[in-house]
Structure 1
Amino acid sequence: WDMNFVFTRNRTTILELAEGFDYHVLWTEANGGAVTRVGEEIGQLVSRVITRVNDPSSEYHGWPLKDPSGKLIRDDWQNYMEPGDNTAVIGNFNPDFQLGMQTSLSYKNWNLSASFDWRYGGQFISQTLRYMESDYLTQRWIDRSLKLNHMSGPEIAQFLRDNEDKYLKPDGMFWPVVGGPTSETGGFQHTEDGITLNDGQFVPGVEGYYDDNGNFVMVNEHLGDEGTPINRWQSSFGWDYAQTAMFDADFIKLREISLTYQFPTGSVSMLGINNLSVSLYSRNIMLWTKAGINVDPETAFQPSGSSFMQGIERYNITPWAVPIGIKLNVNF
């Protein structure tokens, strides 16, 4: 039984750039990008950040700021690659490590061999999921929403207050949607253009302003109680934030497996054959991903057409091909 391993870990840091340059942009897409500033490691993924209450003395400190219509307030973000409060590093597309393994098990005239690849750590942006979920085509987006329409308004508000670290603070769940496309999936009753449906939703936050002393003054809590603006499910996706479409890039692949039978030399030499073997093989047998979104993370780190942008994939919906073949090897 033979086993071989290949361990890889790469880190690259920008120590200095030409005068007048503070950062290097690898690519920009999905309202974010891969941007590395001097002193940082190559591979940083950045995104616009949610505007939050920045008054440390306020009970709402860290809560998302919303306008009267229920939309999250955002900066103009004209140059979102510039360092500042408008952007944040949300991940890095480099893995902690990659491990390849080749194994071969032989018994008499039989040989079973296989190759595995394991990528551990790192993140990627999925344009596939971003476009599909913004068009409300995935069950995942429905499953991740909070289904609280069986509660009264005050009960919903109290639930969110009791769990503010998870649903209202910066380190909690990103873009927590309360509601759904139907009443069965958590949707609230919502009327628009004279049509009433049960497809209402909201993202928790608070509406308010700062006084002359910089103190935050609350106008309205958007927690599901009376006065919370309810919008249609079609506006539930956080399109303006790359973090909405960021996923873990971990995967394990069984790339190839083969079973070979080596015919005894004595039985084939009378035919003038020095060596004869036949193999049954297959590729792409197994793929496990930490993200579990039915997208192959490896495509975010491979050339696509004429471009090569590490850390982002687009339209990764081609069928997963699992070829099976027979190989005959003959030496005379």
Structure 2
Amino acid sequence: VLFNKRLRFDVSLYNTNSYDQILSVDVSQSTGFRSKLLNAGKINNKGVEVQLGVTPIRKQLTWDIDMNYAANRSKVIELDQAGLLQNYVVATNSAQVIAAVGQPYGTLFGNAFLRDGVGNIIVNATGAPQTDPTKRVLGKYTPDWIGGISNTFTYKGISLGVLIDASFGGSIYNGTYATGTYTGVLASTLPGRAAEFGGISYYYPGNVKANGTVRLADGATVPAGVTVYDDGMIFDGVTADGKRNEKILSAQTYYKSFRTIDEANIFDASYVKLREIKLSYNLPSKWIRPLSLQGVSVSLVGRNLAILHRNVADIDPEVAFNTGNGQGLESLSNPTTRSYGINLNIKF
């Protein structure tokens, strides 16, 4: 505390180890059981927590600013003392949350696009993206840092508080996006659905889909007896021999091809929220003294009022972060709700 309590500052550093997590591991079927519980594991957490408070104005009007910041780095040191267990599945949706030795706790693991040596996605003979046969680490659900800032203005018994909080870094498996893209119900799947939305004109020779698609050039004559479609799309990738992909897919096939590739449904989980606005009034002492009360305040409160910034569409990224082990995996979750209320606080 400095400058007559106008500046408040606190910093904490920590480096801790957590032991004996409860794990369910498979056992030989000859035992008559499928799994057993054991206490094992060692996870290291190190990080910093910072709190800063400033009072720029302290007259009839008081203005208090309070800020907080926290960053944590976790690492799985071991899963069993013998060192035989290197990966442990914590939760599964399509992607998985795993604990892996040497990785941060809460690693997201799943199917990825098959890529060439320079990172281009490789398509199959029909022009659809291929899945890498080896599952990959796709991110981690834990944020790089979290923080918040509150502003409180007080004047003659009336106070107004505004709280904004944020979380940056970390990833989320967006099951709503995966399903919505597959079924075509999201606005993001509109491109390519028709010519006015950028769809490419094409046809199937002989009207047989097994013959593959042929692009119909602008102004070209339509072959007799074939149906022309205008919902064609080309996936941005390369063929197995490194040539630029030119195969046309129907928009439906194009969007459906992402469903089983977890990497396509992993998004940055960062957000900034207007968490709370609170307007309070402290009743004057002369009003409550006859009632033998020390204080009475009435407050109007609104919480979860707005998402000011997010990097994932269609959902609130916070819905995938609960108190269970399945954090980071979202699946058709309900929208978060705003809440409004009146608080009455009485001090006897």
Give the structure-2-normalised TM-score: 0.66
Q: CA, structure 1 residues 27+181, in 2 after alignment: closer, same or farther (shift >3 Å)?
A: same
Aligned to 2:252: 234
Taking the aligned partners of 2:157 and 2:169, their CA distance within structure 1 comes to 40
Taking the aligned partners of 2:302 and 2:67, their CA distance within structure 1 comes to 21
Structure 1 residue 133, shift from structure 2 partner? 1.3
Aligned to 2:127: 70
Taking the aligned partners of 2:283 and 2:325, their CA distance within structure 1 comes to 46
Alignment of 1:287-306 (within 5 A): 287-303=307-323
Q: CA, structure 1 residues 324+28, in 2 after alignment: closer, same or farther (shift >3 Å)?
A: closer
- Look up the equivalent residue of 1:249 and give its one-letter code: A
Alignment of 1:49-64 (within 5 A): 49-54=112-117, 62-64=119-121
Alignment counterpart, residue 238 of structure 2, candidates 203, 206, 215: 206
Alignment of 1:97-176 (within 5 A): 97-142=145-190
Any unmatched runs of 5+ in structure 2? 1-62, 208-225
Q: Deviations over 1:140-170 (max 9, x none)?
A: 2446xxxxxxxxxxxxxxxxxxxxxxxxxxx
Taking the aligned partners of 1:68 and 1:204, their CA distance within structure 2 comes to 14
Q: Is 2:24 the counterpart of 1:24?
A: no
Aligned to 1:162: none
Taking the aligned partners of 1:294 and 1:53, their CA distance within structure 2 comes to 31
Q: Which has the larger radius of gyration?
A: 2
Alignment of 1:36-47 (within 5 A): 36-47=99-110
Aligned to 1:311: 328
Any unmatched runs of 5+ in structure 1? 55-60, 78-85, 144-179, 209-216, 224-228
The RMSD of aligned alpha carbons is 2.6
SS at match of 2:126: coil
SS at match of 2:308: strand
Taking the aligned partners of 1:66 and 1:247, their CA distance within structure 2 comes to 22
Taking the aligned partners of 2:296 and 2:129, their CA distance within structure 1 comes to 69
2:268–2:312 Cα contact (<8 Å) kept: no
Q: CA, structure 1 residues 262+50, in 2 after alignment: closer, same or farther (shift >3 Å)?
A: closer
Q: CA, structure 1 residues 248+67, in 2 after alignment: closer, same or farther (shift >3 Å)?
A: closer
SS at match of 1:234: helix
Aligned to 1:2: 64
Alignment counterpart, residue 245 of structure 2, candidates 216, 222, 226: 222
Aligned to 1:245: 265
Q: CA, structure 1 residues 241+266, in 2 after alignment: closer, same or farther (shift >3 Å)?
A: same
Q: CA, structure 1 residues 73+272, in 2 after alignment: closer, same or farther (shift >3 Å)?
A: closer
Taking the aligned partners of 1:136 and 1:37, their CA distance within structure 2 comes to 35
Structure 1 residue 286, shift from structure 2 partner? 1.9
SS at match of 1:42: coil
Taking the aligned partners of 1:330 and 1:63, their CA distance within structure 2 comes to 65
1:13–1:41 Cα contact (<8 Å) kept: yes
Q: CA, structure 1 residues 253+271, in 2 after alignment: closer, same or farther (shift >3 Å)?
A: same
Aligned to 1:182: 194
Per chain length, whose mean CA-contact separation is higher, i.e. which structure has more relative contact order (CA < 8 Å, sep 6+)? 1
Identity within the alignment, %: 26
Taking the aligned partners of 2:77 and 2:291, their CA distance within structure 1 comes to 66
Structure 1 residue 49, shift from structure 2 partner? 2.8
Give the structure-1-normalised TM-score: 0.69
- Look up the equivalent residue of 1:133 and give its one-letter code: T
1:296–1:316 Cα contact (<8 Å) kept: no
Alignment counterpart, residue 342 of structure 2, candidates 303, 326, 330: 326
SS at match of 1:11: strand
Please list every run of at least 4 consecutive aligned residues from structure 1 whose deviation after the TM superposition is greater than 4 angstroms: 192-195, 270-274
1:201–1:233 Cα contact (<8 Å) kept: yes
1:289–1:297 Cα contact (<8 Å) kept: no
1:249–1:289 Cα contact (<8 Å) kept: no
SS at match of 1:207: coil
Q: CA, structure 1 residues 207+271, in 2 after alignment: closer, same or farther (shift >3 Å)?
A: closer
1:117–1:254 Cα contact (<8 Å) kept: yes
- Look up the equivalent residue of 2:328 and give its one-letter code: G
Q: Deviations over 1:29-64 (max 9, x none)?
A: 32x32234322221222332322345xxxxxx6443
Aligned to 2:45: none
The aligned length equals 262
Taking the aligned partners of 1:249 and 1:262, their CA distance within structure 2 comes to 39
